[in-house]
């Protein structure tokens, strides 16, 4: 079996907050160099400064291929190659098939599907040129289960589950593995702002919504960013997960089992 010596550096999109930021801290703590790309420049700069020398922040909107190409080039320039990608940037909007506006549907598709595809198209050639490595996509437990009020989001995450399979097949000859992490609800700013929008529209308070959400899980609480980041580190590291390829890995506290 042919093995490659993977560069221990990673580009993390949407890495300024939430799961991406937890991953940035965990990879750096495990000796990886980390490039965080995001549109939240203030949070991204602060995170990179807190992590220190092994982390750089790069502004890149995943809806813009030129910004992603520049981020990949900057990361490779700084680290001398690229060994892994965490395609993590994404947004959530609560909506239904019959109720969603064209504008909102477009925004979610552009960010979650086009953004992820753009990210792979920018970063994979650099990983292949560096001798191979791994891509981890942040999908969702909605690859496996439907959820009310999640029309556009669920559709885009289902698409990422399929992208994981087809990209793994296409990129295997380049020694690039592709897997997805599929979390259920995690305590992050993404869900906080979702619940704030529901509360502002006259629904239950954010605290009531979190209590309902936490009760959905076998242990009585939703996930933490660190719990997802640990799966990402495993899947990104050829030394840990060389036989994992083209698969969607649940980190869901038993949500889809119950």
Ligand X SMILES: NC(=O)c1ccc[n+]([C@@H]2O[C@H](COP(=O)([O-])OP(=O)(O)OC[C@H]3O[C@@H](n4cnc5c(N)ncnc54)[C@H](O)[C@@H]3O)[C@@H](O)[C@H]2O)c1
Active site residues: 153
Contact status, residue 120 vs residue 87, Cβ threshold 8 Å = yes
* Alpha carbon distance 137, 139 (integer Å): 6
Nearer to ligand X, 147 or 165 (CB): 147
Beta carbon nearer to ligand X, 126 or 231: 231
178 touches 247 (CB < 8 A)? no
Report how far residue 177's alpha carbon sits from residue 243's, in angstroms, rounded to the nearest whole number. Answer: 9
Euclidean distance between CA atoms 162 and 211, whole angstroms: 32
Tokens of 7: 């560069």
Q: How far is CA 224 from CA 70, 169, 221, in A?
A: 31, 31, 9
Q: Which two tokens stand for residue 140?
A: 């969702």
| Beta carbon nearer to ligand X, 171 or 222 | 222
Where on the chain is the footprint of ligand X (CB under 6 A)? 13-14, 16-20, 38-40, 61-63, 88-92, 111, 115, 138, 140, 183, 185-186, 188-191
Q: How far is the CB of 258 from ligand X (least distance, A)?
A: 17
Alpha-helical (H) ranges within 52-150 are 65-79, 102-109, 115-129
Least Cβ distance, residue 131 to ligand X (angstroms): 27
Nearest CB to ligand X, comparing residues 18 and 81: 18
Q: Least CB distance from residue 65 to ligand X, whole Å?
A: 12
Closest CA to 176 of 246, 88, 240: 246
12 three-state secondary structure: strand
Dihedral angle sign, alpha carbons of residues 188, 189, 192, 194: negative
Rounded-to-integer distance, Cα 127 and Cα 131, Å: 7
Least distance from ligand X to the Cβ atom of residue 27, Å: 15
Shortest Å distance, C-beta 28 to ligand X? 17
Report d(CA 142, CA 212) in Å as an integer. Answer: 18
Which residue, 76 or 137, is less far from ligand X as judged by CB? Answer: 137
- 225: its two tokens: 């960013």
Nearer to ligand X, 3 or 162 (CB): 162
Eight-class DSSP state of 4: -
Closest distance between ligand X and the C-beta of residue 248, in Å? Answer: 12
């Amino acid at each position: 079996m042919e093995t490659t010596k993977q560069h221990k550096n990673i580009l993390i999109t949407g890495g300024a907050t939430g799961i991406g930021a937890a991953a940035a801290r965990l990879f750096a703590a495990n000796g990886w160099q980390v490039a965080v790309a995001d549109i939240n420049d203030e949070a991204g700069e602060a995170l990179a400064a807190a992590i220190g020398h092994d982390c750089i922040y790069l502004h890149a909107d995943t809806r813009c291929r030129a910004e992603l190409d520049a981020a990949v080039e900057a990361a490779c320039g700084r680290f001398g190659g690229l060994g892994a990608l965490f395609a993590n940037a994404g947004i959530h909007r609560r909506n239904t098939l019959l109720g969603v506006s064209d504008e909102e549907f477009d925004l979610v598709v552009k960010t979650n599907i086009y953004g992820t595809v753009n990210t792979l198209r920018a970063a994979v050639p650099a990983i292949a040129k560096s001798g191979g490595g791994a891509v981890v996509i942040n999908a969702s437990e909605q690859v496996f289960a439907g959820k009310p009020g999640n029309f556009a989001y669920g559709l885009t995450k289902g698409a990422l589950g399929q992208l994981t399979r087809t990209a793994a097949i296409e990129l295997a000859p380049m020694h690039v593995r592709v897997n997805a992490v599929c979390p259920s609800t995690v305590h992050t700013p993404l869900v906080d702002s979702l619940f704030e929008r529901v509360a502002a529209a006259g629904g239950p308070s954010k605290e009531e919504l979190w209590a309902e959400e936490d009760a959905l899980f076998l242990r009585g609480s939703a996930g933490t960013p660190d719990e997802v980041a640990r799966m990402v580190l495993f899947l990104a590291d050829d030394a840990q997960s060389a036989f994992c390829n083209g698969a969607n890995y649940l980190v869901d506290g038993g949500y889809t089992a119950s």
